[in-house]
Each structure stands twice: as structure tokens, then as C-alpha cells.
Amino acid sequence: MAGSVCDICKKVPPRIHIEGVGEFCLDCYNKWALEKYDGEDTYQYAKNMSVIEPGGAYHTFEIEHMIMGPLVTWEAREIGGGYKFREISYIDENGAAVASRFFKKIARGVCTKSLDISDYPTSNTVNRGDKSYSLKEKGVVHIEEDEDDYSRLAFFVDGMKFSEEEFAKLFGAVPGFDLHYQIHDASDDLPGEHDYPVYERITKDGLLKEFHTLVSEYCSGGHISSDNAFNLSYELEQIKRRIRVLVEAGDRDVAVEIAGEIINTLKDIKCEDGIFPYGDMAAICRIVDPYRTNDELWGPLFWDEE
């Protein structure tokens, strides 16, 4: 694509090639994808944003989104720095609202620190200049292939890049301790300064028992009133949260089984408003199968896409 221009605007070098369709710059591709998927163009947002830390450090980010079928991926890269953030939304969400949510995530990620910095370099930590760096007791580490050597990994903490050897030394202040870890997709929400991990036991039988208890409380004879539908939707948020925890912990198969039983129960509930329970069904499907690869799971929702 070197030396060519976008097939639509004829101005910008293309970044995306679609076989049999053409070559597009990102903006033109997103407009083409919106039309293809009957989406509404609500993606008016600032393509650059800056965050000023409490200590005065200044960070500026380039922000872009890319439509990928029913999903929209968002990326923010710091200009001249190492911070990177990602978000995933859905094509039927309001783009400006998602951008606002993403901006808050970026600000929280920049202002919540994972490194302890000391003015006294030591032999068991990472030393750069007259500063010593080690990991705090909780935080976020972003993992990527090292652009300088793709056979190695690079670790980014607070926007700073650390090699494999340096990353090991970031633990130099805590020998003898255990590390309890959990891998998250970069698009997952970020913990704030006062957010702490809490252990929670989640089982299929326990979660389904709680769900069926709620259904029996708010439904009668397979019917539910509008008021009770609102209350049940509110109660279901906690169940959705725990299904998401299962997915993020790698127990996707169990999460899919739970989601399938919940959806098969919800689809048979009749509500006078004609809206419930499809919103909750769609939300649960999106948690366990965002790419819509499970036709059986999504099947009850196809009625609104025909």
C-alpha cells in the first residue's frame, strides 16, 4: 500500500485492505463499516486528550477507534511516552459516550501509580539515574512483545518500559512473599487507587440457584410486570458481574454454561413492556461471547436483527 491513497477520500494513505473491496484510511473505513452494519455515526470525539498528574507531569494521547463487525476497538497511545490503553464497545453503543468513558479510564490509568520510586538506588531494585524503582503491593503491568527484539517481552508500568531482567528486579523489595496474579485483557476496567481485589467464591450451582430464586421472587406463571422487570434487571447486574469475573479468570466454559441456562429461562418470561428480557439477555451474551461465535447462545436474540 506504500505510495497509494485511500480509495474513498483520495487524500490519506490507506491503512486497511479488504480483498475485493478496496483500500481505506481509518476514517473512511469506519464510515464504510457503519453503513455496512447499519450503524449510526455517533463517533464525534476529540482525537487527542491530555492528562495532568497531581504532581504536574503532562501526558498527551492520540485516540482512535476501529469498527470490527459488531465490536468497536479503541486505542490510546501516549505521544512520546509509553502509556497505552484499550477499550472495547459495541456498534450499537453511542460512540461519544464510549469515548467519554474511555477518557476517564485513561485519566484513572495515568493517575493511579503502580511503582514505588525512591531517591536511594539499591542493588536489588531497578535503578535509573538517581532513582530506584520497585512495584507497589498492587497495580497494573502491561505486557507486550519487545519492538526492539520480538523474541523477548517488554513490561510497561506507569508508562515506563522494563526488560525481562528489569521486571524481575522490580520485585526486589519483596523476597519471601507470594504473588497472587490474574491476567486481564487490556480492554478490561482498570483499578483505581482505592480499589482492591477481593476473593469471591463463584460456582455454577450457586450462581444458578441465586438466579432462579430471583426469578421465582419477581415472576408469576411465566409473566412479569414492568415494575418487577425493572427490579429483576437491577438484581441481575450482580449476576452479570460474577459471570464477567469467571470469564476474566479464564473459566469461560463455565460462564457460557451459566449464561446459556439463564438465557433459556429469561427468553420464556413474558413482560407487558415488550422489552424485557432482551436487554439483559444481550448483555449476558456479550460478556461470554463478544464475537458472536455461539449461534445457540445468541439465537433467541436474532429477532431484533432481521
Conformational region of residue 8, where left means phi above 0, alpha means psi within -120 to 50, and beta covers everything else: alpha
Rounded to 5 degrees, φ, ψ at 86 are -135, 150
**Boundaries of every domain in the chain:** 37-111, 114-195, 204-304
Rounded to 5 degrees, φ, ψ at 282 are -65, -40
pLDDT at residue 196, rounded to an integer = 85
pLDDT at residue 305, rounded to an integer = 41
Beta strands in 190-238 (DSSP E): 223-224
Residue ranges of the chain with per-residue pLDDT less than 70 = 1-3, 301-306
Which has the closest alpha carbon to 256: 265, 266, 247? 247
Beta strands in 114-183 (DSSP E): 115-118, 126-128, 131-135, 142-146, 149-157, 160-162
Count of C-beta atoms within a 10 Å radius of residue 211: 19
CA distances from 48 to 60, 75, 181, 243 (A): 7, 11, 33, 34
Conformational region of residue 159, where left means phi above 0, alpha means psi within -120 to 50, and beta covers everything else: left
pLDDT at residue 306, rounded to an integer = 37
Distance from C-alpha of 84 to C-alpha of 290, rounded to nearest angstrom: 22
Crossing angle for the helix pair 226-248 and 204-218, to the nearest 10 degrees: 170
pLDDT at residue 291, rounded to an integer = 78
Q: What is the pLDDT of residues 58-106, one digit of tens each?
A: 999 999 999 998 889 999 999 999 999 999 998 888 999 999 999 999 9
Conformational region of residue 57, where left means phi above 0, alpha means psi within -120 to 50, and beta covers everything else: beta
pLDDT at residue 187, rounded to an integer = 87
pTM above 0.85, yes or no: no
